[in-house]
Amino acid sequence: MMYFVDKTYFEMIYNPEGGFIGYISVLLLTVIFGVVIIYLIRLSRYRNIRFSVVLALTGILSLFFAAETMSDLPNLFHTSTHNIFKANNTAIWTNVNRVIKINAAGKIAFCWVMIAIGAFYFLILPFIYRGNFNAKRFADKTGIPIPHRNHIIAMIILTVLAVLFSSATNSGVLQLNLSAIFLLILLYPENIGVFRR
């Protein structure tokens, strides 16, 4: 809405260099890590090793994205930890770019692979989960949180808005919304019984 009212103000507040939206994204990603830790503590002795590994990888990814987001934000508390994140993030992205940037098409291919994985997770996996007993059992034993219909609708709306409004895509709003959707999927998946004792 703010994008339509005052585009200059929107770009100033929700700028790609960071701001309070970026700090809220970091907070949500940290909460995702906390939820994963709670699940691991409560459920690891009742579930198999694959379940714990998938949860641990989810927590590691959320911490990685939180550190990556934090490295792009202005230093809020004027402490030296921000510089540590920035230096380590630069080293990580340099290594990632060496792996991915074999040629210019490598990065584009990586982006398309990520889009394909996201499309499979949101558009195909829930239907396979509902229609195939073996897939349901595999997802439940592995600890893959399956998105509800409302999560899928939210992701489709977010994708359409990201395509229509490039300024919103470049701002921290997209990352904030993605973090919120993934937190909700982790807290309230369709297979919620698997994540309860």
The tens digit of pLDDT for each residue in 66-117 reads 887 777 665 555 454 455 555 555 555 554 545 444 556 666 777 788 889 9
Give CA–CA dist 197/193, Å, rounded.
8
Q: SS in 3 state form for the chain?
A: CHHHHCHHHHHHHCCCCCCHHHHHHHHHHHHHHHHHHHHHHHHCCCCCHHHHHHHHHHHHHHHHHHHHHHHCCCCCCCCCHHHHHHHHHHHHHHHHHHHHCCCHHHHHHHHHHHHHHHHHHHHHHHHHHHHCHHHHHHHHHHCCCCCCHHHHHHHHHHHHHHHHCHHHHHCCHHHHHHHHHHHHHHHCCCCHHHHCC
What was the pLDDT predicted at 33?
96
What was the pLDDT predicted at 131?
92
Q: How many C-beta atoms lie closer than 10 Å to residue 22's C-beta?
A: 24
What pTM was estimated for this model as a whole?
0.77
What was the pLDDT predicted at 100?
47
What was the pLDDT predicted at 101?
47
Token pair listed for 71: 């490295």
- Please report, in angstroms and rounded to a whole number, the separation of the first and last CA atoms in the chain: 42
- For the chain, the structural domain boundaries read 2-195
Token pair listed for 109: 């291919």
Report yes or no: 142 and 51 within 8 Å, Cβ to Cβ. Answer: yes
Q: Low-confidence residues of the chain, pLDDT below 50?
A: 78, 80-81, 95, 97, 99-101
Give CA–CA dist 51/53, Å, rounded.
6
Non-local CB neighbours of 64 within 8 Å, separated by 6+ positions: none
How far does CA 156 lie from the centroid of its chain? Answer: 15
